[in-house]
Structure 1
């Protein structure tokens, strides 16, 4: 049947045009949405790729280099402690042991430096495409400072110079060592600048990503008004995939960093803590320092594990969690399982997964050796200052007297008797100087274990008579009576006669000095258990109980104004102990003081005397302690 004029079964040209326009608009919208979605997914990926070289540079170069630089620094600190310990001893065996330990520390430092040099001079230029001249300069400066310091004290370690020649160089030694520490600090600061630059790149990348993402989201919202369901579905899927990828990448980076930290920090104690402050990980070094099996500490509270019951911790763990990204360092005392304590430097920083804080990592270093070295150094400086003070004080007066007497003899014509008086003054002061120098030499030999003692069989009676003969003249000037008592038949003693007379001289001189005019001094001897016991007792002022423990310390004096260098009793103790004897003191303030010492008797000639029967049962005599 023929088609009527109004019949139109196909689309009109206008409809076709509209369809084409709609189709083109739909295609454009879909294309825009596809581009928008691709941009939302690709922008973070591309920005992450931009940061990957920086992350690799930090993780593979700068962080390992910082760790190696720290190990090099620690080895130099330990080497410094060895040098200080070397200065404190004169024992050849101990010096060899210290030299060996020093060489080990130096070898460790050299190994760490070679590894550091490999990182900075080979691997770093490979990644950067060019050398980092500043880091290489800091590295060269660090090695030069280390070599300068080593060469400065090498003559001391090699035995080319003695301690007396070394003492004037102590200040220069410290200056070289400070230069080494400053060079190490400058290298660490250079590393810190590069890590900070990486963090700045990360911050800039995050800001750029945020701006781009914001713009794309605004555009996406405008387009999503037309296809909200499809866009929401696809965008949600892409966001989930991006979050999952970020999570997997963060877990991998965190796992790698934790593993690397454990492998690198074998010499330091490392503890992993959860958000409740309970231990989730401990390395072998921490377990050994705390004296605990690694498995037994898992789940323990930090305070219980390292600080003991009833002791406040430094709260580093809580500070690290509250800060979110800062690290905290302090010095504290840590407790071992057996209850003993040791000094440590503790650092704590949060453990972060993305933006989520998962806990904290606490690391610590045992400072026992460093504190001991610092204490030994302070003691050496104090001893040096004491010696210098004594010498300058006690030599100034006799030198001045000799100078005045000599000047008088040269400038003024004197009668013969007056000239002789001045010569006697010069001789007396010179003898005083000689005695002081002899005492200083004896103290030095006693401390180094080289005091010459030549024991021979010696009768007690004549030796005591000689000691009294030397002291009676001085005692008579103060009207002091010296009594001598010998209990029973005494055997010969195995002693260096001159050294024992020196002991008597110091003890009797001390008794005369502190006994008032008209007082009494008693010197007695008796046989003990395989030894002869000697006593020097006076009726002087006595010694306060709180001072008894210091009576044999060098340079110590009971009171000012009695003269002397404070070396006599310390020398007496050293001489007696060099004879394998004992010396001690008993005193009552206001009543007097008793010094007692023993010398070994010749075997086979000692009469049998009941223990405690000597001197009226005095404790410490005849074997009673």
Structure 2
């Protein structure tokens, strides 16, 4: 009785299963089928049992697969798992089904037990997954494209801002060389100079963001004293702090604090930290900078008594474009990228920077840590390039499509005792050079009609142009731009806005027959 009850229960489970169940002979003849399989295929059990083989219900292509793959696999390994086959419905429709089969042998009787599931919904789900993956890949590609556009925009913006900065800086240099006595003119000149320097710093930070994003930052490391970077930074921020009547107290150790670093980048790190301290310190406030060695680390601390950092923002001050306050509430401008650049530059050097504050109104402290270097600082080379300043009259051709830039640089060089002429496009530059045979040509790259690269190459091809000192002066300051200038025949590459002392060093070195080179990187 118990056996009969168990068999009856099994029959109920077979008939009411949520999947299609079949039993077939070894050649595929259906011996038993449940209600779900009949429901899915549109056949009755009477139309299937003993009258059809399972392969008879398949599409032609799947029948071939059944013969070449299904039957041999079932014969060899006794089971087949998760094989998708297309079943023809009684009304002609095609149903995708997932088949699982087990072969059992009872004495001389061989039978196959088959379970099937309709996978129409699964195929819809998989198709949606494919579409979702495609959309995600398209979105990722769009993000990458937007990121490249952002980098290109920042680089282009920096270039375009550098062009107007050049005549502005030239004018401030001209005014510095004038013997001004009017206090208002002297004040106006100093204000203009400070603001040009500030704007130049912002433009350079924008360019640095682009360089970091594209992985184009190259370090020129050497053993140096961290105090040298401090001196350069203090000199750079001096006018900004003087204008705000801020007091800067610098404490340096008696012995050098040696690090293996890029001197220009280390000066940039210290300058950005001091700029940040000045920006968030009220007029008349005090700022401290201390340098020393702690264990195996060089340590620099910049502390101020300014607005401080709220506790919930301490961990975010180094994020790109992070601001402690909305721009309208701050007395000093900023892009929120200076501290991010500090962190990135220090990471390239194997160093760190941390921020600490007791809260709003309690000031803040930034601590830089770098590995100490035990090597000695090398002596400076003996063949140092001559300092800036006039050293004989030179004939100089200035080529720039920005008329203000060309004329202000011409006026500035005239003050140094040089003879200058100007041109504003590539073809005119070549013709003017042919006529005047200048000792040096200071040439922009982005010129109408013919680029500065093409003009330089043409000049180098002329017998009279082989010995002319060619200096590229451009807003494009990436490493590939400098290589392109060198390939075109330029001797040197300067980046706008022009550092007149760097230009005078090159002119004086050439007039003295020196091979020394100087390069300005904005």
TM-score by length of 1: 0.36
More helix as a share of residues: 1
More strand as a share of residues: 2
Q: Which of 1 and 2 has greater Rg?
A: 1
TM-score by length of 2: 0.42
